[in-house]
Structure 1
Amino acid sequence: MKLDAPTMVTVTVFVMVVMGALTLLSWSQARQTRALGFLGAAQLVGAAAVTLFGLRGLVPDWLSIGVANAVMLGANGLIWSGARSFEGRRVPLLWLAAGPVIWLAACLVPPFYASLGARVILCSALAGLYCAVTARTLWHPGGERLPSRAPASILLASEALLIWARIPATLILPTPPTGIPGQTFWVAVLSFVGLLYTVAVSVLFMALAKERLEAEQRRAAETDPLTGIANRRALASEARRALATGPAAVLLFDLDHFKRVNDTFGHAVGDAVLVGFCTVARQVLPAGTAFGRLGGEEFACLLPTAGTGEAARIAETVRLAVATMRPDLVPSLAVTVSVGVARGGGTGSASEFESLLGLADRALYQAKAQGRDRVVLAGPELRQVA
């Protein structure tokens, strides 16, 4: 197949401009995702570089070689900056400009500029490095799980390898002739490859932004806005998954005299008590415990592997820790909590969690009736933990 350089350059520039404009439009609608702004700018800058490459022989070589490669390296640096921004990391402007500056400084050295092989090696090394560090920036196997993260990293890594492959090829293969036919062929090839990667990178970056937004919306829908812990819906969902694997214990917490706290000291103090309780409880509950707010001053947690005795000990640990709380707004305020404990489940029924909550609620009611600030176990005969 014959690649027509002017046509490929025109198509590549057109696609890069369109993709850049669409990416910037997406960024304008989601300004918190600055990565899309960097990517859109990179595509427009890359389109300018491809235009200069395509004008080889029509404009001075210092434009079509020196400036064009510097601009393309700048586009690669902008993509890396977008990846760092996406990961919430600082964008290093010095390193962003390092590639273009190194390239332009080298071009000022006559022996280097006169050597096609030296130019190809340096430009390939710098461009490949930008692609490689971008791939590494996005690669987080143990971090935020987004479906498009691995494909984006692999794509950028493959681009780095493809660019670096030009280095040994330059060292091994004979230097190509300097006539226009050979130059236009390689311009066409590079334009075609650039076109493919431009579309793929754009699609994957926008997919990453969409996936993160959806994940944030899911977290918001499953998180209590005041305390930052799971809401009832999220807790029930996690509890159902845990109960499907075997019996578990449920601890039901209710802050004592909470309405009196709100009426006496105001809702700001009441909110501080709720947040403080969650902080204390998470510090003493076992790691990975499903813990959430059911509503008002009522909270629950699920202990999948705990027996009745262990669950009671954990509940008592939480009760004692809460008794040491002293809200900053009212240091003299004593906070206590009553706890109901129930254990069961393991049959896989969808209503198991609600049934356990009902048993724990009976135990909690008994704890309130007995004077509050205590732990009561559910069972044939409700009994208080000594």
Structure 2
Amino acid sequence: MIGNAQFIFLLGMGTFVIAGTALFYEWRRSRDPAAAWWSFAFLACTIAAGTFPLRQFDGLDVVSIGLANAMFLLSYSAICAGIWKYYGRRVNGAVVVAPSVLWLLFWSLCPLASDFDMRVAVGSFLAAVVSLVTARGALFGKARMLGRALVLLMAFRTGFFAVRAIWASTILGPISDAERAIGFEIVLVEGLWSSVISGYLLLALLRENRERLLVKLSETDYLTGADNRRAFQLKAEAAWQNSSDRRETTLLMFDLDNFKHINDAHGHAFGDGVLKDFAAIVSARVCAGDVFARLGGEEFALLLPGRDAAAGARFAETLRADFAEAMLARTVDKVRVTVSIGIASTRHATSLDRLLGIADEALYRAKANGRNRIECGPCSQKVVAAPAYGTAIAC
């Protein structure tokens, strides 16, 4: 058993070093705090695996039993902390070290710590609790395949350590030396397999997150934080495929009035501030599922899935009025930036290109009819509201 255990520990140390190094490299690239936690976790595992075999030497129990088990528990807690951090949850450092502290208190103060079976029961119970909390944290990502795999792994570890704690407590009866030896090797094999699987899953999570961030960057307008034209086209296509007679979709096209004059006269920094203000006003009012994008220059678009033209017109008037009020402070030489809005609905379009065309035509009419107003296409119009600086028109 000793020879097998030492060989498994050697394999485990190699696995921990490889996984910890890879995760440290990921942290160096991304500075993701989750990667730092996970790299530290495998470092702690390496230290624990290196000290655990020293128990065969007399006088080293403090290191080989007390410290080794504390480091293993700390590594489990660090993985848990990294998962919670990865999904944007708060991590309490005191909670992270609590299992290791409880183990050390048991080891140093409790008379029962001299009994091998009780040490196994207490250590396994603490490991089961940490694994359960880790599985709970992994549930935040259950919508993705990697998140589900992590939940399953941690749920398995919770059950494994819980069963081991019950078995070691001798509730089910006395345990022979042969059973202890077999149980010890099973724990080593489980730890080795779990470290390989968890190392792969954690690295995959980091890379998936990095790829997701790169995609988001490629689809986000750097100045306003809104989607860019590429992202709008992709999301609008998806919304169009989902639209039907029962689920009408409305498109708002925006163009900031007098923007070029203000931008040329007072500089790009002033103009950038106007663009950011408009994007902030719209972003604060959109709902989940709405698609807001900057198409270029001072042109923006907002897709409203599930809203008809009348609802879109009311929403457009709210945005127009809010922006007009916000721009009072930016009036220069009696020239004020306002917004003209064109509206189109899937009720009048047979394709996405046609929807964009109708909204663009309505926007052109809004500009031609005096600006700071709302027009709805196609041209069969009925006035439904008359705001102070424009006219909202229903399709």
**Pair 1:203–1:327, CA change in 2 (3 A):** farther
Shift of 1:368: 1.6
Kindly indicate whether residue 345 of structure 2 is the aligned counterpart of residue 365 of structure 1: no
- Answer yes or no: is 1:72 the counterpart of 2:72: yes
- Aligned residue identity for 1:385: A
> d(CA) in 1 for partners of 2:220 and 2:107?
56
Q: Would you say 1:191 and 2:198 are equivalent positions? A: no
What are the Cα deviations for residues 18-61 of structure 1, in whole angstroms up to 9, with x where unaligned? 2222322333333x222223222222321332333333323433
Cα–Cα, structure 1 residues 67 and 258, in superposed 2: closer, same or farther, change >3 Å?
A: same
Partner of 2:32: 33
Give the Å deviation of 1:199: 0.5
Question: Is residue 140 of structure 1 aligned with residue 137 of structure 2?
Answer: no
The equivalent of 1:54 in structure 2 is 53
For structure 2, the 5+ residue unaligned runs are: 383-390
In 1, the alpha carbon distance for the partners of 2:56 and 2:329 equals 74
TM-score by length of 2: 0.85
Alignment of 1:201-216 (within 5 A): 201-216=198-213
What letter matches 1:310 in structure 2? A
Pair 1:253–1:110, CA change in 2 (3 A): closer
Superimposed CA distance per residue, residues 254-286 of structure 1 (whole angstroms, 9 cap, x where no aligned partner) = 110101111222222211211211222344556
Q: Following TM superposition, by how much is the alpha carbon of 1:381 offset from its aligned partner in structure 2, in angstroms? A: 5.3
Partner of 2:269: 268
**What CA distance in whole angstroms lies between the structure 2 residues aligned with 1:88 and 1:328?**
37
Where do residues 159-174 of structure 1 align in structure 2 (5 Å cutoff)? 159-170=157-168, 171-174=170-173
Pairing 1:385–2:392 present: yes
Two-structure CA RMSD over aligned residues (Å): 2.9
Name the CA distance, whole Å, in 1 between partners of 2:141 and 2:304.
Answer: 28
Give the corresponding residue for 1:158.
156
CA–CA distance in 2 between the matches of 1:87 and 1:285?
A: 24
* Deviation by residue 1:319-338 (Cα, 9 ceiling, x = unmatched): 22222113766698733111
Name the counterpart of 1:297.
298
Taking structure 1 as reference, are residues 74 and 307 closer, same or farther at Cα in structure 2, changes over 3 Å only?
closer
Structure 1 residue runs of 5 or longer lacking an equivalent are none
In structure 2, the partner of 1:249 is: 250
Moved more, 34-43 or 151-160: 34-43
Superposed displacement of residue 380, structure 1: 4.3
2:225 is matched with 228
Alpha-carbon spacing, 1:286–1:36, altered in 2? closer, same or farther (3 Å): closer
Counterpart Cα distance in 2 of 1:164 and 1:120: 11
Q: Deviations over 1:201-248 (max 9, x none)?
A: 101111111111111111111111111111112112222222222253
- Paired with 2:72 and 2:286, the residues of 1 have a C-alpha distance of 54
Task: Give the drift of 1:159.
Answer: 0.5
Q: Distance in 2 between matches of 1:327 and 1:272?
A: 14
Q: How far, CA to CA, are the matches of 2:115 and 2:286 in structure 1?
A: 67
**Conserved? CA contact 1:146–1:208, under 8 Å:** no
Supply the distance in 2 between the matched residues of 1:141 and 1:353 (Cα, whole angstroms): 33
Q: Secondary structure at the match of 1:106?
A: helix
Matched length? 378
- Quote the offset at 1:110 in angstroms: 5.8
- Tell me the amino acid that sits aligned with residue 217 of structure 1: L
- The structure showing larger relative contact order (alpha-carbon pairs under 8 Å, at least 6 residues apart) is 1
> Relative to 1, partners in 2 of residues 1:25 and 1:342: Cα closer, same or farther, differing over 3 Å?
closer
**Contact map agreement 1:50 1:191 (CA 8 A) in 2:** no
- CA displacement at 1:169 relative to structure 2: 1.4
Q: Is the 8 A contact 1:5 1:184 kept in 2?
A: no
Deviations 1:336-356 (A, max 9, x none): 111122233688x7xx22222
> What CA distance in whole angstroms lies between the structure 1 residues aligned with 2:313 and 2:183?
74
Q: Which residue of 2 aligns with 1:86?
A: 86
Give the Cα–Cα distance (whole angstroms) in 2 for the partners of residues 222 and 7 of structure 1.
Answer: 50
Q: Pairwise mapping of residues 280-359 of structure 1 onto structure 2 (< 5 A)?
A: 280-284=281-285, 288-326=289-327, 334-344=336-346, 352-359=351-358
Distance 1:259 1:217 in 2: 32
Paired with 1:285 and 1:11, the residues of 2 have a C-alpha distance of 54
Return the offset for 1:306: 3.5
**Post-superposition CA distance 1:118-152 (Å, at most 9, x none):** 2222111211112211221222168xx54311211
Asked if the contact 1:3–1:185 (Cα under 8 Å) also holds between the matched residues in 2, the reply is no
Question: Which range moves more in the overlay, 352-361 or 220-229?
Answer: 352-361
TM-score by length of 1: 0.87
Single out whichever of 3-12 and 272-281 deviates more from structure 2. 3-12
1:168-211: per-residue Cα shift (whole Å, max 9, x none)?
Answer: 21232334345xx6655443222111100000110111111111
Q: Report the Cα distance in structure 2 between the residues aligned to 1:327 and 1:175, rounded to whole angstroms.
A: 83
Alignment of structure 1 residues 10-25 onto 2, 5 Å: 10-25=10-25
Residue 48 of structure 1: SS of its match in structure 2? helix
For residues 33 and 287 of structure 2, what CA distance do their matches in structure 1 show?
A: 38
Does structure 1 residue 128 correspond to structure 2 residue 135?
no
Is the 1:45–1:71 contact (alpha carbons within 8 Å) kept by the matching residues of 2? yes
